Amino acid sequence: MSSPVEDVTRPAGDEPFLVVDDLTVKFPTHDGIVHAVSGLSYSVEMGKTLGIVGESGSGKSVSSMAVVGLHDAKRTEISGSIRVGGTEIIGLSETRMRRLRGNEVAMIFQDALAALHPFYRVGAQLAEGYLAHHPDATKREAHDKGVAMLDRVGIPQPDQRARDFPHQFSGGMRQRAMIAMALVNDPRLLFADEPTTALDVTVQAQILDLLQDLQRDFGSAIVFITHDLGVIAEMADDVLVMYGGRAVEVGTCRAVLSRPQMPYTWGLLESIPEAQTDPTLPLLPIPGTPPSLLHPPTGCPFHPRCRFTGEVPGDLCERELPDLIPGIEGGEHLRRCHLRNAHEVLSNAAAKKSKVGRHGPS
Amino acid sequence: MAPPEIASDVDKQTTATSTANASHDPARAGAPLLEVKDLVKYFPVKSSGLLRRVVGQVQAVDGISFSINKGESLGLVGESGCGKTTTGRVLTKLYEPTSGSILLEGTDLAPLSGKQMLPFRKDVQMIFQDPYTSLNPRHTVGSIVGTPLRVHSVVPGNKVLSRVQELLELVGLNPEHYNRYPNEFSGGQRQRIGIARALALQPKLMIADEPVSALDVSIQAQVINLLQDLQKEFDIAVLFIAHDLAIVRHFCPKVAVMYLGKIVETGDRESIYTNAHHPYAQALLSSIPDIKQAQVGGRRERIMLEGDVPSPINPPSGCRFRTRCWKAKDICAEQEPPLLQIGGKEGHFAACHFAEPYDSAIHDAAKAQREADAAAKAS
């Protein structure tokens, strides 16, 4: 391995490996500016997993594309700061970005069939990725490295399968191959964008297991993007909940999922049927639909769908965007909500949820 | 079926007598609404040459039997390629069954031609998975929901619009939006349009094929609650096809688990979710990521299956699950296990030579895994 785990070089100061600071991504369109991501800040330490949860259009994928530098530079306005291992990425030249991408930062995509080249053998695609960042390596070495990676991600008979084309792989194997491709240069930061959404649950369990194993071996930082709270619960150390292009709740996985302090997170958790709850009770959905990023709501982005705006004095929710700050309990658990005693209000509401309306207006 | 006014009279009668039998034929008292027997659907695999000879069969559905009572819902779960969608499509005769029978209130739909099917089509309606491709983008909502009414002449032409508006209101949409096009609606709203269309003919059975899997998490619960309310209100039986086990548990009092074209275990919600006996059902249940896990910390013991589902063109001999099963012995390759009743529990069946309760199975599987890991390390 070219960068053993011990060699986790911390940049100046004691900064985490990935720091995203006040990231804003806008897409100018014919209809106006799409505010895809607004003022997003987070950081990930080496060896840790950050889960980003959100619905489609919440900005979770866009923000990660910006970090990996895969956005369309001509059509995107980015501001803020993204530092990977101390290097500022925003404004970096494409040449330097290329050197970084794949080597330091890699990405696993949702749809492995679309992400793998259909005309090239899997082994050749892995070798190409290795050669791009190891110009001194011979083709033989690159090929062997590719086969070794296929073996590492649990593909049986890797030297034979390396000669296969992607369509000859099953869904789970393709995802394994893509993970192998992402890891071929031992990146220290891995973005996994819905890596198991297209897979069946038994295969999903295999892939999640594999990612955890690999993280233990390589000590890399992982940003895991998904809409599935169950997957987050299994994978992440910390969770960041996004809504309408903003972070609305951040904290440890345990804190956010067991003591949510933002009505949106609470609503998500309440709307999912669980293994232990009484199946005859109705679900408690979040009314309404996700906001338009073209015309984001004023004030709190969640207020048009929130059941608790009545608990906040005046029309604060409609007027003012709440800050992402700790609740009254303090600590590292941040939430963006005007409710002062959010946890109390939300747990009371959970207790009497059967009295609340079943399927609100749409 | 009679026009709606008479149909509602029938409904009143049934509720008045409060029997499960909605049929007009008293001889069928207590019989299920839908009875599927040994249903088989094979798709031919043709050679790529000029002759297009049939070189094999995709055994998508291979001899499944189940029944659904009036107003009841049955969940059909399994992974992609297990044949659950094909089953739904065969029941609506979107695919012709290869063999077997589909008895709807005693009438076998399987041999009927397209024309003969027509009167039965309104009894069985379908809700599709993808609300983006299942609505014609060039038709207005009024036309989409109104077409079934016109085709089956359920209401006179001048009443179609008002009926459409009633239906839209029923599914929680603004009735004034009947002249809008599907692209003006969000995913959740489109799925409501699809539900209104299925509801238009007052079906006795609805086939819901992954009705919420294309929707955002926060919208899924809205649609599930809507479906449940409508089901109760109109006493519709639902075949709920889904891969999301938590949603099926919530929606369906009865569940059937499919694997490679066969039903491997079936029973009521309680038996399947707390006392599954088939190794595949057990593995499936243990694979669901659990939010509660984060709250207690640590990892749950789980059965990890090896590999992927084999090809349905050449399914394994005997038990189809044996290639991924940690219990497989010689007998599994030789004999196909029949669906046998489990314990004294009525209606709980599993097809396994070595069926055993969940707790001991998960213990054994974990032990087998540890031994395999140790052996791999030693070698």
DSSP B90-122: HHTTSS--SEEEEEETTEE-TT--HHHHHHHHT
Cα torsion A164, A166, A167, A172 to 10°: value is 110
With an 8 Å Cβ cutoff, are B222 and A285 in contact?
yes
Q: What is the pLDDT of residue A127?
A: 94
- A213 lies in some domain: no
| Nearest partner of A208 among A166, A154, A265, A157, judged by Cα | A154
With 0-12 / 13-18 / 19 or more C-beta atoms within 10 angstroms meaning exposed / middle / buried, residue A275 is middle
* Among the listed residues A176, A343, A216, A208, the one whose alpha carbon sits nearest the alpha carbon of residue A269: A343
Size of interface A-B (CB pairs under 8 A): 145
Q: Is residue A16 a contact partner of residue A279, using CB atoms and an 8 Å limit?
A: no
And the tokens for B359?
A: 């707790």
Structure confidence at residue A321 (pLDDT): 93
A49 to chain B, closest Cα gap in Å: 14
Q: Record the pTM.
A: 0.83
The residue from A144, A165, A186 where one domain ends is: A186
Last-in-domain residue among A162, A186, A210: A186
Q: Are A55 and B217 in contact (CB under 8 A)?
A: yes
- Any domain includes A126: yes
Helical spans, DSSP H, in A189-287: 201-218, 229-235, 253-258, 263-271
* pLDDT interval class at B205 (50, 70, 90): very high
* pLDDT tens-digit map of A101-137: 888 899 998 888 888 999 999 999 999 999 999 999 9
**A325 falls within a domain:** yes
Measuring CA to CA, which residue among B350, B273, B275 is closest to residue B319? B350
In a domain, residue A54? The reply is no
Across the range B320-347, mean pLDDT stands at 89
- Chain A from 254 to 273: CB within 8 A of any B CB: 254, 257-258, 267-269, 271-273
CA–CA distance from B33 to each of B49, B66, B100, B226 (Å)?
Answer: 45, 11, 17, 23
**pLDDT tens-place string over residues B147-202:** 999 999 989 989 999 999 999 999 999 999 999 999 999 888 999 999 999 999 99
C-alpha dihedral, A150 to A155 to A157 to A160, nearest 10°? -60
B217 vs A272, A284, A360: nearest CB? A272
pLDDT at A361: 39
- CB-CB neighbors (< 8 A) of A213 in chain B: none
Domain ranges of chain B: 277-379
- Report the C-alpha gap between A340 and A322 in whole angstroms: 11
Q: Domain of A131?
A: 120-186
Of B173, B291, B299, the CB nearest to A274: B291
Instruction: Given the cut 0.95, state whether the ipTM is greater than it.
Output: no
Select from A249, A258, A222 the least CA-distant residue to A45: A222
Domain count, chain A: 2
d(CA A63, CA A247): 11
Contact B294 A254 (CB under 8 A): yes
B288–chain A nearest CA distance, Å: 6
Average the pLDDT over each of A85-89, B2-6, B240-244 and give the range with the smallest value: B2-6
Tens digit of each residue's pLDDT (9 = 90 or more) over A70-105: 888 888 999 999 999 888 988 888 888 888 888 889
Q: How high is the pLDDT of residue B288?
A: 83
Q: Residue A42 phi/psi, 5° resolution? A: -160, 170
Instruction: Find which of B79, B219, B323 to mutate to test the A interface (most A CBs within 10 Å of its CB).
Output: B219
Q: Report d(CA B160, CA B141) in Å as an integer.
A: 12
From A157, A186, A215, give the residue that closes a domain.
A186
Residue A314 lies in a domain: yes
Q: What is the pLDDT at residue A357?
A: 45
For residue A362, give the nearest of B189, B289, B302 by CB distance: B189
CA neighbor of A185 nearest in space, from A101, A281, A91, A273? A101
